[in-house]
Amino acid sequence: MSNHATRILVHWGTSDEVEDISRYVAGGYHPVKLGDILKSNTVHYRILHKLGRGSFATVWLARTLGDTYSSPDRLVALKICVADTNADHEIEVHSRLPPTEGQHVLPILHKFSLHGPNGTHVIIVYDVLGSITDTPDLIRKQARQICRQIVQGVAFLHNHGVTHGDIHTGNIGIRLPTLEKHSEDDILNYFGPPEISPILTRQPLPQADALPPYLTPSIPLACYFKERDALFAESSLQVEIIDLGSAQTVDEFPCLSCTPAAVCAPEIMFKRVALKTNGLATFASDIWSLACTLYEIVFGTRTFYSAFPNDSLLVDMARLCGEIPLEWSTYWESIPQLKCLNGTISQTTADVNWKSQLDYFERNQATGDNLAQFIELLRDMLKMDPVTRPSAVEVLRHPWFSAEDGSLRKDMAS
Protein backbone atom coordinates (compact mmCIF):
# COMPACT_ATOMS: atom_id res chain seq x y z
CA MET A 1 0.00 0.00 0.00
CA SER A 2 1.72 3.15 -1.17
CA ASN A 3 0.61 5.45 1.65
CA HIS A 4 0.16 2.84 4.38
CA ALA A 5 2.59 4.69 6.67
CA THR A 6 0.53 7.88 6.51
CA ARG A 7 -0.46 8.96 10.02
CA ILE A 8 -3.95 10.38 10.17
CA LEU A 9 -4.41 12.49 13.30
CA VAL A 10 -7.99 12.85 14.48
CA HIS A 11 -9.54 14.71 17.40
CA TRP A 12 -11.31 11.65 18.80
CA GLY A 13 -9.74 8.24 19.03
CA THR A 14 -11.52 5.12 17.81
CA SER A 15 -12.22 1.86 19.63
CA ASP A 16 -10.96 -1.61 18.80
CA GLU A 17 -14.44 -2.40 17.45
CA VAL A 18 -13.77 -0.54 14.20
CA GLU A 19 -11.13 -0.79 11.51
CA ASP A 20 -7.79 1.03 11.54
CA ILE A 21 -8.39 4.55 10.26
CA SER A 22 -4.87 4.67 8.81
CA ARG A 23 -6.00 2.17 6.15
CA TYR A 24 -8.21 4.82 4.51
CA VAL A 25 -5.48 5.88 2.08
CA ALA A 26 -4.62 5.19 -1.54
CA GLY A 27 -4.71 1.43 -2.00
CA GLY A 28 -6.68 0.89 1.19
CA TYR A 29 -10.30 0.71 2.32
CA HIS A 30 -13.14 2.29 0.39
CA PRO A 31 -14.96 4.92 2.51
CA VAL A 32 -18.54 3.84 3.19
CA LYS A 33 -21.39 5.48 5.04
CA LEU A 34 -24.76 4.00 5.94
CA GLY A 35 -27.31 4.55 3.18
CA ASP A 36 -24.74 4.58 0.36
CA ILE A 37 -25.88 2.96 -2.88
CA LEU A 38 -23.23 0.94 -4.72
CA LYS A 39 -23.93 0.07 -8.34
CA SER A 40 -22.92 -2.83 -10.54
CA ASN A 41 -24.05 -3.16 -14.13
CA THR A 42 -27.15 -5.08 -13.11
CA VAL A 43 -27.78 -4.46 -9.42
CA HIS A 44 -27.86 -1.54 -7.01
CA TYR A 45 -27.00 -2.22 -3.36
CA ARG A 46 -28.08 0.00 -0.47
CA ILE A 47 -25.77 -0.18 2.57
CA LEU A 48 -27.69 -0.82 5.81
CA HIS A 49 -25.05 -1.69 8.41
CA LYS A 50 -21.60 -3.17 8.93
CA LEU A 51 -21.16 -6.92 9.41
CA GLY A 52 -17.40 -7.09 9.88
CA ARG A 53 -13.94 -5.95 8.93
CA GLY A 54 -10.50 -7.44 8.40
CA SER A 55 -7.07 -6.50 7.17
CA PHE A 56 -8.11 -6.65 3.53
CA ALA A 57 -11.82 -5.80 3.45
CA THR A 58 -14.87 -4.42 5.18
CA VAL A 59 -18.14 -6.39 5.03
CA TRP A 60 -21.57 -4.75 4.90
CA LEU A 61 -25.22 -5.71 5.16
CA ALA A 62 -27.00 -4.43 2.07
CA ARG A 63 -30.31 -4.71 0.27
CA THR A 64 -30.55 -5.22 -3.47
CA LEU A 65 -32.53 -2.72 -5.52
CA GLY A 66 -33.41 -4.21 -8.90
CA ASP A 67 -31.63 -7.53 -9.30
CA THR A 68 -31.33 -9.79 -12.32
CA TYR A 69 -29.33 -12.72 -10.89
CA SER A 70 -31.69 -13.71 -8.05
CA SER A 71 -34.97 -12.74 -6.45
CA PRO A 72 -35.29 -8.94 -6.33
CA ASP A 73 -35.06 -6.96 -3.12
CA ARG A 74 -33.09 -9.27 -0.85
CA LEU A 75 -30.49 -8.88 1.88
CA VAL A 76 -26.90 -9.72 0.96
CA ALA A 77 -23.39 -9.28 2.33
CA LEU A 78 -20.94 -7.08 0.41
CA LYS A 79 -17.23 -7.69 0.90
CA ILE A 80 -15.48 -4.50 -0.22
CA CYS A 81 -11.81 -5.36 -0.69
CA VAL A 82 -8.95 -2.92 -0.23
CA ALA A 83 -7.76 -1.51 -3.52
CA ASP A 84 -4.22 -2.88 -3.46
CA THR A 85 -5.08 -6.54 -2.79
CA ASN A 86 -5.45 -9.12 -5.52
CA ALA A 87 -9.13 -9.72 -4.81
CA ASP A 88 -9.59 -11.39 -8.18
CA HIS A 89 -7.54 -14.25 -6.77
CA GLU A 90 -10.35 -15.20 -4.36
CA ILE A 91 -12.80 -15.21 -7.26
CA GLU A 92 -10.46 -17.38 -9.33
CA VAL A 93 -10.17 -19.90 -6.49
CA HIS A 94 -13.95 -20.11 -6.26
CA SER A 95 -14.13 -20.66 -10.01
CA ARG A 96 -12.01 -23.81 -9.61
CA LEU A 97 -14.60 -25.35 -7.31
CA PRO A 98 -17.70 -27.22 -8.49
CA PRO A 99 -21.07 -26.02 -7.14
CA THR A 100 -20.64 -25.89 -3.37
CA GLU A 101 -24.21 -26.41 -2.17
CA GLY A 102 -24.10 -28.72 0.83
CA GLN A 103 -20.29 -28.67 0.93
CA HIS A 104 -20.03 -26.00 3.65
CA VAL A 105 -17.97 -23.52 1.63
CA LEU A 106 -19.82 -20.26 1.00
CA PRO A 107 -20.19 -19.57 -2.75
CA ILE A 108 -20.01 -16.19 -4.46
CA LEU A 109 -23.30 -14.73 -5.72
CA HIS A 110 -21.97 -11.80 -7.74
CA LYS A 111 -18.93 -9.58 -8.16
CA PHE A 112 -18.22 -6.12 -9.54
CA SER A 113 -15.71 -3.28 -9.28
CA LEU A 114 -16.04 0.15 -7.75
CA HIS A 115 -13.85 3.16 -8.48
CA GLY A 116 -13.37 5.33 -5.40
CA PRO A 117 -11.01 7.94 -3.96
CA ASN A 118 -8.60 5.26 -2.71
CA GLY A 119 -8.49 3.20 -5.89
CA THR A 120 -10.45 0.46 -7.63
CA HIS A 121 -12.06 -2.04 -5.28
CA VAL A 122 -13.40 -5.49 -6.05
CA ILE A 123 -16.74 -6.12 -4.34
CA ILE A 124 -17.83 -9.70 -3.75
CA VAL A 125 -21.47 -10.47 -2.94
CA TYR A 126 -22.39 -13.36 -0.65
CA ASP A 127 -25.35 -14.66 1.29
CA VAL A 128 -25.65 -13.06 4.72
CA LEU A 129 -24.28 -15.23 7.54
CA GLY A 130 -24.05 -14.93 11.30
CA SER A 131 -20.83 -15.51 13.22
CA ILE A 132 -20.33 -18.63 15.32
CA THR A 133 -18.48 -16.50 17.88
CA ASP A 134 -21.68 -14.54 18.64
CA THR A 135 -23.74 -17.53 19.82
CA PRO A 136 -21.38 -19.79 21.80
CA ASP A 137 -24.22 -21.42 23.76
CA LEU A 138 -26.01 -22.56 20.59
CA ILE A 139 -22.73 -23.69 19.07
CA ARG A 140 -21.76 -25.77 22.11
CA LYS A 141 -25.10 -27.59 22.04
CA GLN A 142 -24.43 -28.71 18.46
CA ALA A 143 -20.64 -28.85 18.65
CA ARG A 144 -20.11 -32.25 17.05
CA GLN A 145 -22.46 -31.54 14.14
CA ILE A 146 -20.85 -28.15 13.52
CA CYS A 147 -17.31 -29.54 13.75
CA ARG A 148 -18.24 -32.23 11.24
CA GLN A 149 -19.56 -29.64 8.79
CA ILE A 150 -16.36 -27.60 9.06
CA VAL A 151 -14.22 -30.67 8.43
CA GLN A 152 -16.43 -31.51 5.44
CA GLY A 153 -15.78 -28.03 4.07
CA VAL A 154 -12.01 -28.37 4.50
CA ALA A 155 -12.11 -31.85 2.92
CA PHE A 156 -14.06 -30.42 -0.03
CA LEU A 157 -11.41 -27.72 -0.54
CA HIS A 158 -8.49 -30.13 -0.19
CA ASN A 159 -10.10 -32.68 -2.51
CA HIS A 160 -10.19 -29.97 -5.18
CA GLY A 161 -6.60 -28.89 -4.62
CA VAL A 162 -7.29 -25.79 -2.49
CA THR A 163 -5.44 -24.90 0.71
CA HIS A 164 -7.50 -22.44 2.75
CA GLY A 165 -4.59 -20.95 4.71
CA ASP A 166 -6.69 -18.97 7.20
CA ILE A 167 -8.92 -21.39 9.11
CA HIS A 168 -10.20 -20.01 12.42
CA THR A 169 -13.56 -19.35 14.07
CA GLY A 170 -13.75 -15.86 12.56
CA ASN A 171 -13.93 -17.48 9.12
CA ILE A 172 -16.85 -19.77 9.96
CA GLY A 173 -20.36 -18.39 9.43
CA ILE A 174 -23.85 -19.62 10.32
CA ARG A 175 -26.58 -19.86 7.70
CA LEU A 176 -29.66 -17.71 8.38
CA PRO A 177 -32.43 -19.56 6.51
CA THR A 178 -35.23 -17.36 7.86
CA LEU A 179 -33.47 -14.06 7.06
CA GLU A 180 -36.05 -12.85 4.54
CA LYS A 181 -38.88 -13.38 7.03
CA HIS A 182 -37.50 -10.51 9.11
CA SER A 183 -38.00 -6.93 8.05
CA GLU A 184 -35.21 -4.45 7.62
CA ASP A 185 -36.82 -2.30 10.31
CA ASP A 186 -36.93 -5.14 12.84
CA ILE A 187 -33.26 -5.95 12.38
CA LEU A 188 -32.02 -2.36 12.49
CA ASN A 189 -34.28 -1.39 15.39
CA TYR A 190 -33.03 -4.35 17.41
CA PHE A 191 -29.49 -2.99 17.32
CA GLY A 192 -30.54 0.65 17.63
CA PRO A 193 -28.64 3.67 16.29
CA PRO A 194 -24.99 2.69 15.74
CA GLU A 195 -22.43 4.16 18.13
CA ILE A 196 -20.42 5.68 15.32
CA SER A 197 -16.99 7.29 15.71
CA PRO A 198 -17.03 10.66 13.89
CA ILE A 199 -13.85 11.47 12.00
CA LEU A 200 -12.52 15.01 12.33
CA THR A 201 -8.89 15.29 11.32
CA ARG A 202 -6.53 17.72 13.06
CA GLN A 203 -5.34 19.09 9.77
CA PRO A 204 -6.67 19.10 6.19
CA LEU A 205 -5.79 16.04 4.14
CA PRO A 206 -4.68 16.11 0.48
CA GLN A 207 -7.77 14.11 -0.43
CA ALA A 208 -10.49 14.60 2.16
CA ASP A 209 -12.92 12.15 0.56
CA ALA A 210 -10.47 9.30 1.19
CA LEU A 211 -11.96 9.08 4.68
CA PRO A 212 -15.54 8.17 5.60
CA PRO A 213 -17.37 10.74 7.75
CA TYR A 214 -17.47 8.20 10.59
CA LEU A 215 -16.50 4.64 11.45
CA THR A 216 -19.24 2.13 12.21
CA PRO A 217 -19.01 -0.85 14.60
CA SER A 218 -20.20 -4.23 13.35
CA ILE A 219 -23.48 -5.79 14.43
CA PRO A 220 -23.63 -9.39 15.80
CA LEU A 221 -26.42 -10.48 13.49
CA ALA A 222 -26.61 -14.00 14.93
CA CYS A 223 -27.57 -12.52 18.32
CA TYR A 224 -30.69 -11.01 16.77
CA PHE A 225 -31.77 -14.38 15.37
CA LYS A 226 -31.01 -16.18 18.61
CA GLU A 227 -33.32 -13.82 20.54
CA ARG A 228 -35.99 -13.01 17.94
CA ASP A 229 -36.30 -16.22 15.92
CA ALA A 230 -37.30 -19.34 17.84
CA LEU A 231 -37.00 -21.50 14.71
CA PHE A 232 -33.35 -20.46 14.28
CA ALA A 233 -32.52 -21.00 17.95
CA GLU A 234 -34.08 -24.47 18.04
CA SER A 235 -33.09 -25.83 14.62
CA SER A 236 -29.95 -27.61 13.45
CA LEU A 237 -27.38 -24.98 12.55
CA GLN A 238 -25.65 -25.03 9.17
CA VAL A 239 -22.20 -23.48 8.90
CA GLU A 240 -20.07 -22.30 5.98
CA ILE A 241 -16.35 -21.70 5.59
CA ILE A 242 -15.75 -18.19 4.29
CA ASP A 243 -12.89 -16.01 3.03
CA LEU A 244 -10.78 -17.74 0.39
CA GLY A 245 -8.67 -14.59 0.03
CA SER A 246 -5.61 -16.42 1.40
CA ALA A 247 -6.36 -19.72 -0.33
CA GLN A 248 -3.98 -21.37 -2.79
CA THR A 249 -4.53 -23.95 -5.51
CA VAL A 250 -2.02 -26.72 -6.13
CA ASP A 251 -1.02 -25.38 -9.54
CA GLU A 252 -0.36 -21.81 -8.37
CA PHE A 253 3.00 -20.32 -7.48
CA PRO A 254 2.95 -20.69 -3.67
CA CYS A 255 2.48 -17.64 -1.45
CA LEU A 256 3.65 -17.17 2.10
CA SER A 257 1.29 -18.01 4.94
CA CYS A 258 -0.80 -15.32 6.64
CA THR A 259 -2.30 -17.71 9.21
CA PRO A 260 -2.89 -15.98 12.59
CA ALA A 261 -0.40 -16.95 15.29
CA ALA A 262 -2.98 -18.59 17.57
CA VAL A 263 -3.88 -21.22 14.94
CA CYS A 264 -0.62 -21.32 12.98
CA ALA A 265 1.16 -24.65 12.49
CA PRO A 266 4.53 -25.06 14.27
CA GLU A 267 6.55 -25.57 11.08
CA ILE A 268 5.46 -22.10 9.95
CA MET A 269 5.63 -20.49 13.38
CA PHE A 270 9.24 -21.65 13.94
CA LYS A 271 10.31 -19.89 10.75
CA ARG A 272 8.57 -16.68 11.87
CA VAL A 273 10.13 -16.74 15.34
CA ALA A 274 13.60 -18.18 14.81
CA LEU A 275 14.42 -17.40 11.20
CA LYS A 276 12.41 -14.16 10.80
CA THR A 277 10.98 -15.55 7.59
CA ASN A 278 7.68 -17.18 6.75
CA GLY A 279 6.48 -20.54 5.51
CA LEU A 280 3.94 -21.79 3.03
CA ALA A 281 0.44 -22.85 3.95
CA THR A 282 -0.19 -26.52 3.14
CA PHE A 283 -2.92 -29.09 3.58
CA ALA A 284 -1.08 -30.20 6.73
CA SER A 285 -0.94 -26.67 8.17
CA ASP A 286 -4.67 -26.36 7.46
CA ILE A 287 -5.19 -29.50 9.58
CA TRP A 288 -3.35 -27.89 12.53
CA SER A 289 -5.49 -24.74 12.20
CA LEU A 290 -8.59 -26.90 11.85
CA ALA A 291 -7.76 -28.71 15.10
CA CYS A 292 -7.38 -25.40 16.94
CA THR A 293 -10.74 -24.31 15.54
CA LEU A 294 -12.51 -27.50 16.60
CA TYR A 295 -10.96 -27.20 20.07
CA GLU A 296 -12.37 -23.69 20.46
CA ILE A 297 -15.85 -24.73 19.28
CA VAL A 298 -16.11 -27.70 21.64
CA PHE A 299 -14.38 -26.26 24.71
CA GLY A 300 -15.16 -22.57 24.32
CA THR A 301 -11.51 -21.61 24.83
CA ARG A 302 -8.44 -21.41 22.62
CA THR A 303 -5.65 -23.92 22.24
CA PHE A 304 -3.08 -21.10 22.18
CA TYR A 305 -3.55 -17.49 23.19
CA SER A 306 -0.51 -15.76 21.74
CA ALA A 307 -1.45 -13.22 19.09
CA PHE A 308 2.15 -12.78 17.90
CA PRO A 309 5.05 -15.06 16.97
CA ASN A 310 7.29 -15.50 20.03
CA ASP A 311 9.34 -18.03 22.00
CA SER A 312 6.49 -18.62 24.45
CA LEU A 313 4.29 -19.89 21.64
CA LEU A 314 6.99 -22.34 20.56
CA VAL A 315 7.18 -23.58 24.15
CA ASP A 316 3.40 -24.03 24.31
CA MET A 317 3.46 -26.02 21.05
CA ALA A 318 6.33 -28.23 22.24
CA ARG A 319 4.57 -28.94 25.53
CA LEU A 320 1.30 -29.73 23.82
CA CYS A 321 2.95 -32.18 21.42
CA GLY A 322 5.48 -33.51 23.93
CA GLU A 323 8.54 -32.94 21.78
CA ILE A 324 11.09 -30.42 20.56
CA PRO A 325 11.66 -31.04 16.83
CA LEU A 326 15.21 -31.74 15.78
CA GLU A 327 15.20 -28.77 13.40
CA TRP A 328 14.49 -26.49 16.35
CA SER A 329 17.44 -27.72 18.40
CA THR A 330 20.10 -25.18 17.35
CA TYR A 331 17.81 -22.24 18.00
CA TRP A 332 16.42 -23.81 21.18
CA GLU A 333 19.90 -24.33 22.65
CA SER A 334 20.86 -20.73 21.85
CA ILE A 335 18.08 -19.23 24.00
CA PRO A 336 18.70 -19.66 27.76
CA GLN A 337 14.97 -19.42 28.61
CA LEU A 338 14.30 -22.30 26.21
CA LYS A 339 17.36 -24.40 26.97
CA CYS A 340 16.46 -24.54 30.67
CA LEU A 341 13.23 -26.34 29.74
CA ASN A 342 15.11 -29.37 28.37
CA GLY A 343 14.02 -32.44 30.26
CA THR A 344 10.61 -30.97 31.12
CA ILE A 345 9.06 -31.58 27.68
CA SER A 346 8.20 -35.17 26.84
CA GLN A 347 5.38 -37.40 25.71
CA THR A 348 4.79 -38.33 29.34
CA THR A 349 4.27 -34.71 30.41
CA ALA A 350 2.09 -34.10 27.34
CA ASP A 351 -0.05 -37.11 28.30
CA VAL A 352 -0.44 -35.74 31.82
CA ASN A 353 -1.39 -32.28 30.53
CA TRP A 354 -3.99 -33.67 28.13
CA LYS A 355 -5.41 -35.89 30.87
CA SER A 356 -5.68 -32.85 33.13
CA GLN A 357 -7.56 -30.97 30.40
CA LEU A 358 -9.88 -33.93 29.87
CA ASP A 359 -10.67 -34.15 33.59
CA TYR A 360 -11.38 -30.43 33.74
CA PHE A 361 -13.68 -30.36 30.74
CA GLU A 362 -15.54 -33.52 31.77
CA ARG A 363 -16.28 -31.87 35.13
CA ASN A 364 -17.39 -28.58 33.61
CA GLN A 365 -18.95 -29.48 30.25
CA ALA A 366 -22.72 -29.83 30.00
CA THR A 367 -22.39 -31.77 26.74
CA GLY A 368 -22.59 -35.53 26.68
CA ASP A 369 -20.04 -35.80 23.86
CA ASN A 370 -17.27 -38.35 24.25
CA LEU A 371 -14.52 -35.91 25.14
CA ALA A 372 -11.84 -38.57 25.53
CA GLN A 373 -12.47 -39.60 21.92
CA PHE A 374 -12.44 -35.97 20.80
CA ILE A 375 -9.09 -35.32 22.49
CA GLU A 376 -7.72 -38.42 20.79
CA LEU A 377 -8.75 -36.85 17.47
CA LEU A 378 -7.14 -33.53 18.38
CA ARG A 379 -3.86 -35.18 19.31
CA ASP A 380 -3.80 -36.91 15.93
CA MET A 381 -4.26 -33.56 14.19
CA LEU A 382 -1.89 -31.59 16.44
CA LYS A 383 1.26 -33.50 15.55
CA MET A 384 4.50 -31.57 15.40
CA ASP A 385 5.58 -33.33 12.20
CA PRO A 386 3.19 -32.23 9.42
CA VAL A 387 3.72 -35.49 7.53
CA THR A 388 2.12 -37.45 10.38
CA ARG A 389 -1.09 -35.40 10.54
CA PRO A 390 -4.21 -37.02 9.06
CA SER A 391 -5.88 -35.70 5.93
CA ALA A 392 -9.23 -33.95 6.21
CA VAL A 393 -10.97 -37.05 4.84
CA GLU A 394 -9.23 -39.18 7.47
CA VAL A 395 -10.37 -36.72 10.13
CA LEU A 396 -13.95 -37.18 8.92
CA ARG A 397 -13.62 -40.94 9.37
CA HIS A 398 -12.66 -40.63 13.03
CA PRO A 399 -15.08 -42.44 15.37
CA TRP A 400 -15.90 -39.21 17.22
CA PHE A 401 -17.89 -38.07 14.18
CA SER A 402 -19.49 -41.36 13.22
CA ALA A 403 -20.60 -42.02 16.81
CA GLU A 404 -23.27 -39.29 16.67
CA ASP A 405 -25.47 -40.74 13.95
CA GLY A 406 -25.35 -42.47 10.62
CA SER A 407 -25.40 -39.34 8.47
CA LEU A 408 -21.62 -39.12 8.16
CA ARG A 409 -21.38 -41.94 5.65
CA LYS A 410 -24.18 -40.36 3.61
CA ASP A 411 -22.43 -36.97 3.66
CA MET A 412 -19.08 -38.47 2.62
CA ALA A 413 -20.65 -40.43 -0.23
CA SER A 414 -22.42 -37.40 -1.71
Binding-site annotation: residue ranges? 79
* DSSP for 121-135, written as a single string: EEEEEE--EEEGGG-
Q: How far is the C-alpha of 260 from the C-alpha of 254, rounded, in Å?
A: 18
SS3 percent helix, strand, coil of the chain, rounded to 5, is: 40, 15, 45
Q: What's the burial of 290, exposed, middle or buried (CB within 10 Å: 0-12/13-18/19+)?
A: buried
Q: Among residues 96, 127, 93, 129, which one has the least CA distance to residue 110?
A: 127
Q: Which helix (H) or strand (E) holds 227?
A: helix 221-228
- Specify binding-site residues for ATP: 79
Amino acid at 127: D
Q: How far is CA 365 from the centre of its chain?
A: 25
Q: How far is the C-alpha of 87 from the C-alpha of 84, rounded, in Å?
A: 9
Q: How far is the C-alpha of 406 from the C-alpha of 400, rounded, in Å?
A: 12
